[in-house]
Amino acid sequence: MCGIVGYIGKAAAPPILLHGLRRLEYRGYDSAGMAIIDGRQLLVSKAPGKVANLKEKSKCEWPAELFSQPSYGIAHTRWATHGPPTEANAHPHRDQSGEIALVHNGIIENYRSLRARLEAKGHVFLSETDTEVLAHLIGDRYEENLFQAVCDALHQVEGTFGIAVISSREPGLIITARRGSPIVLGIGDGETIIASDAAAILAHTQRVIYLDDNDIAIVKADHVEIRDLNNVPVNRAVAELELDASAAEKGGFAHFMLKEIHEQPESLRNAIRGRLDFALGSSVLSGMGTSPRELAEINRIVLVGCGTSLHSGLIGEYAFEDLADTPAEVQQAAEFRYRNPIIGRSDLVIAISQSGETADTLAAVREANQKGAFVMGLCNVVGSTIARETGRGIYLHAGPEISVASTKAFTCQVAVLLMMALKMGRSRRFSRQEGMDFARQIEAIPSLVAQVIAQNDHIARIAESYAANEHAFFIGRGPMYPVALEGALKLKEISYIHAEGYHAAELKHGPIALLEKGTPVIALANDIPGKDKTLGNIEECKARGARILGLITAGDEEAAAVMDDVIEIPACHPLVATIPSAVALQLFAYHIARIRGCEIDQPRNLAKSVTVE
């Protein structure tokens, strides 16, 4: 997620801004920049890559005294969403006059129409970003009051923002505002810090003010005035931070994995935002770069990936066959690249990769390209190798995933695959009404996940009863079978328990020989086709003494009666239910690993991106 830092006080801004950006580095980013005003002029320096690059570049570009004389300014670490990580796309962005600079977190959904309007008025843009459009919009509205110009501009914006704005036409103040992307103000002694999260403030003060959505603030060195976007003053309490630097980086959570699990309602909103067309009952995925006619000519879909990304592909397989009547199959990327796959121009190969750098998946992309297939990427990292080499595809917008164990990227992969299947289905037999209904189901996913996360304490209590086991079985049917595989992977990779996922019907073909008294069986018994058969499989396990944790549809008393422990999943479409069910198993695995005292974010033997065969 991008990072924002602003400083106004008695000191020199550049060192403070650079230090603040370093405190936000953990969030993941791919370029950085800062803008300062030294009482006379507005200076901007930007660099792709690390904050260290920005430090070196600004010291070359700016006079040495700027790093010691009083000044104020804003700074940003960018995690690319619109446009690759280049200097031109890095923030801050200026308006047409060059006298206003802005940094922005969030996504402006209507930036294309705003940009067209401004270009018609003669504005010239230097980047591909949505953010630069907002800078120009503010400049276009500016007459003599920066606060009012920002207010007017934000009234035209659809989407989310956390911004900080400065202008050499009005020295001595920073305007900051938020809608859907956090902004916190650090109230120091004769200085004020603006940041997208508290980690950048801790070095200056523990006294903070959190802006609410649609708050806009006039920030000076010794005074902060907060209003709403209708220019009505609002009161926001000063709170005391009780975080140390390490805890602040994790947003107060004990581990990045837990933070990222809790981020999923927001990351799923970002993945879905602007991509559902309820009028047509379809999805809007411009990155697929295909017309309905081209989609209609695809005869088969091959999904390739590794690990968790393979598991989301398995759910995608069910989705494409159920919604689009199109044959679909998943192939482990390493297998695909060596088996001389039989694919061609009427096949769509979807390469799924959070990092966009996994060697086996990249090799599969190259093999598919070689065979003339239609290739797309489903990646989280903008500008990653797989994203570039597939040439088309969909970005997850899940935000940087720091913990090695993939959580929010997985659920966003599934959500995007459901939207891809919806779009393909509407180019085939899926009716408009069916499409509208399914689009509503997708729209509800963030709230379904929030309902499961609200059960965190309940799941933690259940984990206490399973943490001592050294073996565990996860079982499921239909689209819940891949969820069983993913739940087993989560548990094994962070708790080191030997966990295996099986199709529920498969246990009696051998694995049931391993069941002993107390062996945990985690059963996905959601109320979907095949549930009764799964309940029968559970009875077979109980007859051998197994202890059963059941994920059931909320209120399903028949299923609850069979289980030793229960986690309720909100009722929804079977394909959609895979996402909240996976989140429940993420929390289950997390709490077991926590109880066992494991190193959760960086498990032994594992890397976040496997860039070797």
Interface with ligand AGP by CB under 6 A: which residues?
Answer: 306-309, 353-355, 358, 361, 404-406, 493, 609-610
Q: Quote the least distance from Cβ 492 to ligand AGP, whole Å.
A: 10
CB 347 within 8 A of CB 372: no
Neighbours of 517 (CB within 10 A): 8
Strands 328-332 and 239-240 turn out to be unpaired
CA–CA distance, 456 with 587 (Å, rounded to integer): 7
d(CA 188, CA 194): 11
Which residue's CB is nearer to ligand AGP, number 100 or number 404?
A: 404
The nearer residue to ligand AGP, 100 or 420, going by C-beta atoms, is 420
Sole residue written with tokens 């970003």: 129
Q: Between 13 and 412, name the residue whose CB sits nearer to ligand AGP.
A: 412
Other CB atoms within a 10 A radius of the CB of residue 482 amount to: 26
Query: Looking at this protein, which amino acid is placed at residue 98?
Result: G
Catalytic (active-site) positions? 2, 608
Q: At its nearest, how many Å lie between ligand AGP and the CB of residue 443?
A: 25
Residue 384 CB, nearest distance to ligand AGP (Å)?
9
- The letter for the amino acid at 308 is T
Nearest to ligand AGP of 283, 406 (CB atom): 406
**Residue 307 CB, nearest approach to ligand AGP (Å):** 2
At 566, phi and psi to the nearest 5? -135, 135
Nearest to 332 by CA among 315, 310, 302, 365: 310
CB of 409 to ligand AGP, least distance (A): 7
User: The tokens 């903070």 sit on which residue?
Assistant: 208
DSSP letter at 554 equals: T
Phi, psi (deg, nearest 5) at residue 3: -125, 140
CB of 154 to ligand AGP, least distance (A): 36
Enumerate the H helices of 444-520 as residue ranges.
445-453, 456-464, 480-495
Provide the minimum distance between the beta carbon of 572 and ligand AGP in the complex, in angstroms, as a whole number. 24
> By C-beta, is 142 or 590 nearer to ligand AGP?
590
For the chain, count helices (H), then strands (E).
Answer: 21, 26
Residue 105 or 406: the one with the smaller Cβ distance to ligand AGP is 406
Closest to ligand AGP by CB, 92 vs 377, is: 377
Of residues 40, 66, 62, the one with CA closest to residue 168: 40
Q: Which residue is nearest to ligand AGP (CB)?
A: 307
In degrees and rounded to multiples of 5, residue 181 shows phi and psi of -140, 120
CA atoms within 13 A on the CB side of 51: 24
